[in-house]
Chain A
Amino acid sequence: MSEKVWIAGGGVICGIGLNLRECLQSFRTMQPGMTTMQYLSSVHRNTFPVAEVKADNDALADMARMPENISRTALLSLIAAREAWQSSGLQDISAYRVGFVSGNTVGGMDKTEDFFTQFLPDTARGGRLQQVVHHECGSVTELVADALGVRHHVSTISTACSSGANALMYGARLIRNNIVDVVIAGGTDALTRFTLNGFNTLMILDQAACRPFDNTRTGLNLGEGAGYVVLVSDSLAAQLHPWCRLSGFANANDAYHQTASSPDGTGNYLAMKGALDMSGLQPQQIGYINLHGTGTQNNDVSEGIAINRLFAPHFPAMSSTKSFTGHTLGASGGIEAVFSALSVKEGIIYPNARFEHQMKELPFAPATAYSEHNDIHHVMSNSFGFGGNCSSLVFSGY
């Protein structure tokens, strides 16, 4: 049961790159992905900047080798999952017992919301059914699993913004329990009017580029994308060149409010503490934290206070890559897991864009410059969501 689980590779598509190397280049050159909406059609186009994937559905469908009328959520998912698989060195997928575990928050909602404009006036005949056939979260996952040729285990997790992180945890368990040998785990979400308007009603969207962990922050920017790691068992890892291990993980519930974090970050603290305990590490051994860091008043102060409680006085380098990618919701845990695993492999500290003003509640500040070849052995990645769902992952070198 204590078998090690390794990260054999990873893939990302998001607002700062169509693949992982493009994303790294954007971090290196300090090019965040927030712009005026180009692809999502919304009356809020000129009000809220978003970090869209810089390609229309036709271009993504070509990349994914899928029909262009498929949900953008599935297109993004397949592109990132395929990159992850190719980077793992595993080759023929049918040679292994493979699972695909993907998180997302609204499934094929991008098509459903188009359907609804014709459906509402005439529910018996309005709208083309083709647009809702993949509405379910699980249906998006299956489109990708089928394209990849995964059959042994297919699963979808939806715990709001921690969906992707929980997919990695469940995937690691599947390997430790000898149900499969390999799991492609992470998450995907495309921008939709549904989520944009939902977050707008909560009044937590910034009309400028977001400023995570800055004292002047006023909200988040939504993003979109997908990110997956390839988890492998100890015995398979011996034949590969894995990036690092998934050495610890924990999931806790804040049990405070359906959408807000508790002032003292109870769930955040429990998740981070639980992940550290599983990895057998002391707080000072963590070299970098990829923060949840949405840029909302509430998240950053709760997360910061929980970090202070756990890490003081030895604060690792930390940053919110959402300052580049926007908040990609169900994808964020997967995308940030790939960034974190690469951080262990290549000693990368990612920059936190637009940080200028120290938060008055906290004794530490995020890193603001990109650097690589740092002496980093252990990295933590945080994902906290609605419903009080808090998860933390720890990645460790050999």
Chain B
Amino acid sequence: MSPIYINGSGCISPQETATGGLLLASLREYEQVRLATVDPDYKQWIDVKQIRRMSRVVKMGVGAANLSLEEAGVAMPDAIITGTAYGCLDDTGVFLTKMVNQQEEMLTPTAFIQSTHNTVGGQISLLLGCNAYNNTFVHRGFSFENSLLDAIMILKEGSAKHVLAGGLDEITNYSHDILTRFGLYKKAPVKTMELLNSPTRGTIAGEGAAFFTLSMEKGDHAAAAVTGLSTLYKPMWEGEVIGHIVKFLEDNDCTPADIDLLLTGRNGDIDQDEMYEEVAAALFPDHAEASFKHLCGEYPTATAFGLWMANRMMAEQAVPAAAAFYGKAPERLRKILLYNHHQGTHHSLILLTAC
């Protein structure tokens, strides 16, 4: 596939990703099962009066989108594509609660208006005054990957020059209570830097937003290009995943030997991480491996954070110690393979190549 350059990127996450500087230079370590974003000063992008009405997911989306456009030097994108599995949980919860508690009477529209899944994409368009293509994908662990695929297709079709694409999700008290009852998280707090070696089931909850300004033309700040993207839905067994990765590499004219760094979505759940062990053992036994979910937590669009981190590692040509999981990456990083799975059902591969 023709390279899709990342000309700008922006990320708001539980790490200090919104303020520039070297990747993870001031690492945030936590000992809790629920991570929250480190919020930048949103006033730089949004009017104070509007900020008060906006939920966190809208603010982090608008912030990450603006960081990405600023870095790319693009004032007006030709398409805005958003991926979010959960959408605007906070406003949904507010409206639902009032509806139940007030027996469907005396309700006000603000929370309902902001509860729709396309609120973030719509707000980015509204604030930019952008009449271009606007789409929102809401498909669980593929929400961000579908957005990226749509962006790649639109760029290849030639109908857009600069596409803004991203993924984001928020945690709310209600969503965290419910997901906790599903047994997704650790029973006791765990230190984030020890999460990936945890011998128990469950992971930690995370949230965040990452946006990318993509183009088929290389921008001044581009360090890497997306050169491959693939998803695999509900594979029957590990062998199908391994076969899929082999075919993915073939389709992109490379072999495991061409991969300088494997970046995985390990989340510290001993059952779920077994898939990464299998893949690494079968295809990348001697490769350096880095991970990202101990830094941002687990959520369905966490691959957006993963891609943001991969792109920064490419720009700095270094793997920070806090991200390293196994081995030592070569001096020169040319290709990074991001492999993630969400709950064992949604597997995705993103190939990033230095430019």
Q: Does the CB pair A201–B112 fall under 8 Å?
A: yes
For the complex, what is the distance from the CA of A117 to the CA of B154, rounded to whole Å?
44
Q: Which of B4-12, B130-138, B195-203 contacts A (4 or more CB under 8 A)?
A: B130-138
A313: CB under 8 A from chain B? no
Which residues of chain A come closer than 8 Å to B109, judged between CB atoms?
A: 198, 201-202, 259
Which residues of chain A come closer than 8 Å to B99, judged between CB atoms?
A: 113, 193-194, 197
B101: CB under 8 A from chain A? yes
**Residues of A142-185 whose CB lies within 8 A of B:** 142, 145-146, 151-160, 166, 170, 173-174, 176-177, 179
Q: List 16 A-B contacts (CB under 8 A).
A: A117-B100, A136-B138, A151-B233, A155-B142, A156-B138, A158-B116, A159-B136, A160-B116, A176-B157, A177-B156, A194-B95, A194-B99, A255-B129, A389-B118, A389-B134, A389-B136
Chain B 14-51 interface 0/1 with A at a Cβ cutoff of 8 Å (1 = within): 00000000000000000000000000000000000000
Contact partner of A160 among B86, B118, B182, CB < 8 A? B118
Number of A-B residue pairs having CB atoms within 8 Å of each other in the complex: 184
Tell whether A138 pairs with B113 under 8 Å between CB atoms, given A1-B157, A116-B97, A389-B118: no
A397: CB under 8 A from chain B? no
For the complex, what is the distance from the CA of A153 to the CA of B230, rounded to whole Å?
10
For the complex, what is the distance from the CA of A138 to the CA of B107, rounded to whole Å?
28
Which residues of chain B come closer than 8 Å to A132, judged between CB atoms?
A: 178
Contact partner of A200 among B107, B123, B136, B181, CB < 8 A? B107
For the complex, what is the distance from the CA of A158 to the CA of B80, rounded to whole Å?
14
Q: Does the CB pair B125–A137 fall under 8 Å?
A: no
Tell whether A142 pairs with B140 under 8 Å between CB atoms, given A124-B177, A254-B131: yes
Residue of A nearest to B133 (CB): A251
Residue of B nearest to A114 (CB): B100
Tell whether A252 pairs with B132 under 8 Å between CB atoms, given A43-B103, A136-B138, A198-B112: yes
Contact partner of A386 among B113, B143, B157, CB < 8 A? B113
Query: How many B residues touch the partner, as a band?
Result: 35 or more
B328: CB under 8 A from chain A? no
Q: Does the CB pair A255–B97 fall under 8 Å?
A: no
For the complex, what is the distance from the CA of A266 to the CA of B117, rounded to whole Å?
22
Which residues of chain B come closer than 8 Å to A177, judged between CB atoms?
A: 153, 156
Tell whether A151 pairs with B126 under 8 Å between CB atoms, given A43-B103, A112-B96: no
Q: Does the CB pair B140–A139 fall under 8 Å?
A: yes
Which residues of chain A come closer than 8 Å to B134, judged between CB atoms?
A: 159, 251-253, 387-389
A249 nearest CB across to chain B (Å): 11
Which residues of chain B come closer than 8 Å to A158, judged between CB atoms?
A: 87, 116-118, 136-138
Contact partner of B97 among A120, A136, A146, A174, CB < 8 A? A120
Q: Does the CB pair A138–B140 fall under 8 Å?
A: yes
Q: Does the CB pair A388–B126 fall under 8 Å?
A: yes
What would 6 more interface pairs be, CB under 8 Å, given A138-B139, A157-B137, A159-B136? Answer: A120-B97, A129-B181, A158-B136, A159-B118, A385-B118, A387-B118
Chain B 90-132 interface 0/1 with A at a Cβ cutoff of 8 Å (1 = within): 0000011101110111011100111111110111011011111
A141: CB under 8 A from chain B? yes
Which residues of chain B come closer than 8 Å to A159, judged between CB atoms?
A: 117-118, 121, 134-136
Which residues of chain B come closer than 8 Å to A202, judged between CB atoms?
A: 109, 112-113
Chain B 324-351 interface 0/1 with A at a Cβ cutoff of 8 Å (1 = within): 0000000000000000000000000000
A255 nearest CB across to chain B (Å): 5
A44: CB under 8 A from chain B? yes
For the complex, what is the distance from the CA of A155 to the CA of B87, rounded to whole Å?
15
Residue of A nearest to B121 (CB): A387
For the complex, what is the distance from the CA of A43 to the CA of B99, rounded to whole Å?
11
A258: CB under 8 A from chain B? yes
Chain A 93-122 interface 0/1 with B at a Cβ cutoff of 8 Å (1 = within): 000000000000101000011001101100
Q: Does the CB pair A255–B107 fall under 8 Å?
A: no
Contact partner of A197 among B107, B131, B154, B156, CB < 8 A? B107
Nearest 5 A/B pairs, CB to CB? A387-B122, A198-B112, A158-B117, A201-B109, A138-B140
Residue of A nearest to B140 (CB): A138
Q: Does the CB pair A138–B142 fall under 8 Å?
A: yes
For the complex, what is the distance from the CA of A315 to the CA of B142, rounded to whole Å?
42
A262 nearest CB across to chain B (Å): 10
Which residues of chain A come closer than 8 Å to B157, judged between CB atoms?
A: 1, 173, 176
Residue of A nearest to B141 (CB): A138
Tell whether A157 pairs with B107 under 8 Å between CB atoms, given A137-B117, A255-B130: no
Tell whether A157 pairs with B135 under 8 Å between CB atoms, given A123-B177, A137-B117, A138-B142: yes
Interface centre among B108, B135, B173 (most CB of A within 10 A): B135
A250 nearest CB across to chain B (Å): 8
For the complex, what is the distance from the CA of A5 to the CA of B105, rounded to whole Å?
47
For the complex, what is the distance from the CA of A83 to the CA of B137, rounded to whole Å?
25
For the complex, what is the distance from the CA of A252 to the CA of B122, rounded to whole Å?
11
For the complex, what is the distance from the CA of A201 to the CA of B153, rounded to whole Å?
39
Residue of B nearest to A150 (CB): B233
Residue of B nearest to A329 (CB): B116
**Residues of A25-61 whose CB lies within 8 A of B:** 42-44
Which residues of chain A come closer than 8 Å to B95, judged between CB atoms?
A: 194, 197-198
Interface centre among A136, A145, A254, A270 (most CB of B within 10 A): A136
Contact partner of B126 among A193, A198, A255, CB < 8 A? A255
Interface centre among A105, A133, A137 (most CB of B within 10 A): A137
Tell whether A137 pairs with B113 under 8 Å between CB atoms, given A157-B137, A193-B99, A385-B118: no
Q: Does the CB pair A170–B112 fall under 8 Å?
A: no
A360: CB under 8 A from chain B? no
Which residues of chain A come closer than 8 Å to B158, judged between CB atoms?
A: 1
A267: CB under 8 A from chain B? yes
A134 nearest CB across to chain B (Å): 11
Which residues of chain B come closer than 8 Å to A176, judged between CB atoms?
A: 153, 157
B146: CB under 8 A from chain A? yes
Tell whether A154 pairs with B139 under 8 Å between CB atoms, given A43-B104, A386-B113: yes
B150: CB under 8 A from chain A? yes
For the complex, what is the distance from the CA of A158 to the CA of B105, rounded to whole Å?
27
Contact partner of A258 among B119, B131, B139, B182, CB < 8 A? B119
Which residues of chain B come closer than 8 Å to A151, judged between CB atoms?
A: 233-234
B168: CB under 8 A from chain A? no
Q: Does the CB pair A388–B140 fall under 8 Å?
A: no
Q: Does the CB pair B126–A257 fall under 8 Å?
A: yes
Q: Does the CB pair A253–B139 fall under 8 Å?
A: no
Q: Does the CB pair A156–B137 fall under 8 Å?
A: yes
